[in-house]
Structure 1
Amino acid sequence: MPTRRDFLKSSILASSLLFVPKFLHALDRGGVPGLRDSSGRRLVVVQLGGGNDGLNTIVPYRNDLYYNARPTLALREQAGLLTLDKDLALHPAMTRLKQLYDQGQLAVLNSVGYPNPDRSHFRSMDIWHTGSAADEYLSTGWLGRYLDAACTGCSTGHTGIEVDDTLSLAMKGEARKGLALKNPQKLRQATQNRLLVQASRESAATGVSELDYLYKTLTETASSADYLYEKAKVYRSAVTYPDSEFAKSLKTAAELINAGLETRVYYASLAGFDTHVRQHEQQGKLLQDLSDGLGAFVDDLQRGGQFDSTLILVFSEFGRRVSQNASNGTDHGTANNVLLIGGKLRQPGVVNNAPDLANLDDGDLRYQVDFRSIYASVLRDWLEADDKTILSGGPAPLSGLV
Structure 2
Amino acid sequence: MQRRQFLQASALASTLLLVPKFLHALDRPETALAARLRDAPGGAARRLIVVQLGGGNDGLNTLVPYRNDLYYKARPTLALKEADGLLPLGDELALHPSMKGLKGLFDQGQVAICNAVGYPNPDRSHFRSMDIWQTGSGSEQLLSTGWLGRYLDSTCAGGAPAYQALELDDTLSLALKGATRNGLALKNPGKFHQLTQSRYLSALSQEKAAAPAGSELDYLYKTLAETASSADYLYDKSKIHTSTATYPNTDFGKSLKTTAELIGSGVESRVYYLALSGFDTHVRQHEQQSRLLGELSDGLAALAADLQKSNEWNNTLVMVFSEFGRRVTQNASNGTDHGTANNVFLLSGALRKLGLLNQPASLQDLDQGDLRYQLDFRSLYASILTDWLGADDKLVLGPGIEKLAGLV
Query: Normalising by structure 2, what TM-score?
Result: 0.93
1:229 corresponds to 2:235: yes
TM-superposed CA distance for 1:223, in Å, is 3.0
Question: Residues 31 and 160 of structure 2 are in contact (CA less than 8 Å); yes or no, is this contact kept in structure 1?
Answer: no
Question: Residues 146 and 175 of structure 2 are in contact (CA less than 8 Å); yes or no, is this contact kept in structure 1?
Answer: yes
1:134 corresponds to 2:139: yes
Distance in 1 between residues matched to 2:267 and 2:207, nearest whole Å: 32
TM-superposed CA distance for 1:198, in Å, is 2.4
Amino acid of the structure 2 residue aligned with 1:369: L
Question: Residues 86 and 350 of structure 1 are in contact (CA less than 8 Å); yes or no, is this contact kept in structure 2?
Answer: no
Residue of structure 2 equivalent to 1:265: 271
* Matched ranges for 1:251-330 at <5 A: 251-330=257-336
Distance in 2 between residues matched to 1:118 and 1:272, nearest whole Å: 19
> Out of 162, 165, 169, which is 1:160 matched to?
165
Amino acid of the structure 2 residue aligned with 1:300: D
Distance in 1 between residues matched to 2:26 and 2:279, nearest whole Å: 35
**SS in structure 2 of the partner of residue 6 of structure 1:** helix
Shift in CA distance, 166/354, structure 1 to aligned 2, threshold 3 Å: same
Shift in CA distance, 80/156, structure 1 to aligned 2, threshold 3 Å: closer
Residue of structure 2 equivalent to 1:401: 407
Question: Residues 373 and 394 of structure 1 are in contact (CA less than 8 Å); yes or no, is this contact kept in structure 2?
Answer: no
1:16 corresponds to 2:20: no
Distance in 2 between residues matched to 1:159 and 1:135, nearest whole Å: 30
Per mean C-alpha deviation after superposition, the further-off stretch among 325-334 and 143-152 is 143-152
TM-superposed CA distance for 1:219, in Å, is 3.0
Residue of structure 1 equivalent to 2:218: 212
**SS in structure 2 of the partner of residue 361 of structure 1:** coil
Question: Residues 144 and 176 of structure 1 are in contact (CA less than 8 Å); yes or no, is this contact kept in structure 2?
Answer: yes
Amino acid of the structure 1 residue aligned with 2:243: S
* Matched ranges for 1:3-402 at <5 A: 3-10=2-9, 13-18=12-17, 19=19, 25-26=27-28, 29=29, 31-33=30-32, 35=34, 36-37=36-37, 38=40, 39-154=44-159, 157=162, 159-205=164-210, 209-402=215-408
Amino acid of the structure 2 residue aligned with 1:13: L
TM-superposed CA distance for 1:299, in Å, is 1.2
Cα deviation, 1:67-95, whole Å, max 9, x if unaligned, reads 10001111111100011025100100011
Amino acid of the structure 2 residue aligned with 1:222: A
Shift in CA distance, 23/264, structure 1 to aligned 2, threshold 3 Å: farther
Distance in 1 between residues matched to 2:382 and 2:211, nearest whole Å: 48
CA RMSD of aligned residues (A): 1.9
Question: Residues 11 and 195 of structure 2 are in contact (CA less than 8 Å); yes or no, is this contact kept in structure 1?
Answer: no
Unpaired runs of 5+ residues, structure 2, are: none
**SS in structure 2 of the partner of residue 45 of structure 1:** strand
Cα deviation, 1:228-274, whole Å, max 9, x if unaligned, reads 10111111111111101001111111111111112111110001110
Distance in 1 between residues matched to 2:219 and 2:26, nearest whole Å: 20
Amino acid of the structure 2 residue aligned with 1:266: Y
Amino acid of the structure 2 residue aligned with 1:259: S
Cα deviation, 1:99-127, whole Å, max 9, x if unaligned, reads 00000001111100001000011111111
Amino acid of the structure 2 residue aligned with 1:102: D
Distance in 1 between residues matched to 2:256 and 2:381, nearest whole Å: 21
Amino acid of the structure 1 residue aligned with 2:376: D
Distance in 2 between residues matched to 1:42 and 1:354, nearest whole Å: 29
Query: Normalising by structure 1, what TM-score?
Result: 0.94
**SS in structure 1 of the partner of residue 293 of structure 2:** helix
Per mean C-alpha deviation after superposition, the further-off stretch among 181-190 and 201-210 is 201-210
Distance in 1 between residues matched to 2:75 and 2:377, nearest whole Å: 27
Question: Residues 14 and 218 of structure 1 are in contact (CA less than 8 Å); yes or no, is this contact kept in structure 2?
Answer: no
TM-superposed CA distance for 1:8, in Å, is 2.8
Unpaired runs of 5+ residues, structure 1, are: none
Per mean C-alpha deviation after superposition, the further-off stretch among 17-26 and 319-328 is 17-26
Question: Residues 200 and 216 of structure 1 are in contact (CA less than 8 Å); yes or no, is this contact kept in structure 2?
Answer: no
Identity of aligned residues (%): 64
Amino acid of the structure 2 residue aligned with 1:210: E
TM-superposed CA distance for 1:11, in Å, is 6.2
Distance in 2 between residues matched to 1:192 and 1:234, nearest whole Å: 21
Distance in 2 between residues matched to 1:86 and 1:139, nearest whole Å: 44
TM-superposed CA distance for 1:153, in Å, is 1.5
Per mean C-alpha deviation after superposition, the further-off stretch among 208-217 and 88-97 is 208-217
Amino acid of the structure 1 residue aligned with 2:301: G
Distance in 2 between residues matched to 1:359 and 1:257, nearest whole Å: 44
TM-superposed CA distance for 1:216, in Å, is 2.8
Distance in 2 between residues matched to 1:151 and 1:220, nearest whole Å: 15
Amino acid of the structure 1 residue aligned with 2:324: F
Distance in 2 between residues matched to 1:390 and 1:326, nearest whole Å: 43
TM-superposed CA distance for 1:9, in Å, is 1.2
Per mean C-alpha deviation after superposition, the further-off stretch among 135-144 and 97-106 is 135-144
Question: Residues 162 and 184 of structure 2 are in contact (CA less than 8 Å); yes or no, is this contact kept in structure 1?
Answer: no
Question: Residues 52 and 322 of structure 2 are in contact (CA less than 8 Å); yes or no, is this contact kept in structure 1?
Answer: yes
Per mean C-alpha deviation after superposition, the further-off stretch among 315-324 and 235-244 is 235-244
